[in-house]
């Protein structure tokens, strides 16, 4: 049986799930490539959000042959020149225009691929065809020379409602019997990765063409044998330290994430001030040992971190709380991620301005950027002129206008 991710791979841009605006900007970039100052475009976003599929869909609609190379296969400047150079300089075998796709550009190694990023930047200048690069994280320092010369397009993680809709469409075409709630569960567990959700769906369909509900429940064991909320019950709903110590034994998450889950949900569970104070004292001690691990790499302290944040928190209360609490994920990670993305976008814009004004990126961020933003927000005509001068993409202009 053919993999469904190939069978249902989008052939048109209208079939790309949840990325309408970004796909439209990508298509516009390719169509207007000959007039554009930018000779490449970087599409970035999490796995399974449709980056590569969008490139092929755009190429198919416009009638361009897509030539794909994977950056993780490159090892040095010479290899990049041999593999990417001919694709950029030679005409298509099928007498069509070409679209060069460099997948996983952030897969270039900082040590092994010495000179590789610079070689790609040079080839971008020579290319008569649009170059599209994909990345999960395009804001790494090693990619700065490429980033400043490319359009930046963000693809977001696909929300579970859109994933559910796509899974339902596949089920109907394949004649699969399914429950709506089961599809929603499958979609939620995909974490915004449509490709993973489609693979899971195909695996879980039984011989009699039904979606196996029990298998969906077992699916979480693939990456996380026990969910964090269930593990938290062993910490918050017991005063037995031996039971609490085993809470995270079957949870596949790092210690930092687990500590933030406890920190987020502890005030929801513990309501007595003395219990809260004692519990946070144990968490504070655990954090001290965690700091020593980071500073000195003394991993023997990990046992103390684990016991303090489980058994310590469990015995901090005088008695078990009978109230039922719905534990939720920490919002701190999301806030940190959003703040980092905002900072990195600002830095990418500052790098372009710095190149034009012959100043440092730091000086632009500290002194120039506030005035630039003021101009973009209050004078559209002047903003458009500056956008052209600094070679800013549409998303970068949007960031300055906000």
DSSP 238-254: ---HHHHHTTTTT----
Beta-sheet strands, E only, within 145-220: 151-154
Query: What pLDDT shows up at residue 169?
Result: 92
Residues 247 and 339: their CA atoms lie apart, in Å, by 32
Query: What pLDDT shows up at residue 146?
Result: 84
Task: Tell me the mean pLDDT in the region 228-254.
Answer: 83
Query: What pLDDT shows up at residue 225?
Result: 38
Whether the per-residue pLDDT at 110 is higher than 60: the answer is no
pTM equals: 0.59
Query: What pLDDT shows up at residue 85?
Result: 73
CATH topology of domain 4-154: Rossmann fold (3.40.50)
DSSP string, 54-78: HHHHHHHHHTEEEEEEEGGG--SHH
Report whether 354 contacts 364 (CB < 8 A).
yes
Domain locations along the chain: 4-154, 160-222, 228-330, 333-401
Q: State pLDDT tens for residues 346-389.
A: 888 999 999 899 989 889 998 899 999 999 999 999 999 999 99
Query: What pLDDT shows up at residue 314?
Result: 94
What CATH class has 160-222? mainly alpha
Query: In terms of C-beta density within 10 A (0-12 exposed, 13-18 middle, 19 or more buried), how is residue 300 classed?
Result: exposed
Phi, psi of 272 (to 5 degrees): -80, 130
Whether the per-residue pLDDT at 224 is higher than 50: the answer is no
More confident residue, 79 or 43: 43
Q: State pLDDT tens for residues 24-46.
A: 999 999 998 888 778 889 998 88
Whether the per-residue pLDDT at 71 is higher than 80: the answer is no
**Element counts in the chain: helices (H) and strands (E):** 21, 5
């Amino acid at each position: 049986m053919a993999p469904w991710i190939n069978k249902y791979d989008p052939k048109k841009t209208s079939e790309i799930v949840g990325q309408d605006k970004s796909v439209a900007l990508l298509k516009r970039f390719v169509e207007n490539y000959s007039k554009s100052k930018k000779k490449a475009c970087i599409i970035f976003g999490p796995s399974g959000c449709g980056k590569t599929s969008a490139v092929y869909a755009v190429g198919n609609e416009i009638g361009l042959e897509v030539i794909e190379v994977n950056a993780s296969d490159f090892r040095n400047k010479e290899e990049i020149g041999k593999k990417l150079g001919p694709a950029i300089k030679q005409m298509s075998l099928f007498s069509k225009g070409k679209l060069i796709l460099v997948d996983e550009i952030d897969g270039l190694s900082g040590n092994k691929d010495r000179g590789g990023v610079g070689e790609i930047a040079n080839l971008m200048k020579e290319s008569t065809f649009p170059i599209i690069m994909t990345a999960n994280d395009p804001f790494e320092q090693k990619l700065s020379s490429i980033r400043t010369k490319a359009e930046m397009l963000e693809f977001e993680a696909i929300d579970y409602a859109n994933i559910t809709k796509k899974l339902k469409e596949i089920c109907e075409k394949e004649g699969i019997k399914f429950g709506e709630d089961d599809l929603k569960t499958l979609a939620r567990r995909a974490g915004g990765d449509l490709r993973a959700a489609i693979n899971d769906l195909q695996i879980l369909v039984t011989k009699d063409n039904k979606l196996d509900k029990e298998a969906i429940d077992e699916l979480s064991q693939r990456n996380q044998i026990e969910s964090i909320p269930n593990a938290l019950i062993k910490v918050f709903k017991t005063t037995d330290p031996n039971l609490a110590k085993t809470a995270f034994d079957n949870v596949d998450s790092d210690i930092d994430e687990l500590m933030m889950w406890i920190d987020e949900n502890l005030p929801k569970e513990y309501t007595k001030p003395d219990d809260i104070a004692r519990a946070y004292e144990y968490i504070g001690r655990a954090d001290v040992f965690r700091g020593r691990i980071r500073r000195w790499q003394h991993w023997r302290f990990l046992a103390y971190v684990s016991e303090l944040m489980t058994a310590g928190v469990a015995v901090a209360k005088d008695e078990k709380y009978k109230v039922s609490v719905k534990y939720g994920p920490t919002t701190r990670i999301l806030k940190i991620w959003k703040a980092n993305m905002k900072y990195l976008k600002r830095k990418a814009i500052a790098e372009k301005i710095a190149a034009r004004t012959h100043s440092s990126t730091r000086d632009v961020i500290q002194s120039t950027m506030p005035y630039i933003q003021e101009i973009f927000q209050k004078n559209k005509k002047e903003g458009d002129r500056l956008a052209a001068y600094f070679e800013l993409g549409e998303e970068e202009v949007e960031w300055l206008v906000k």
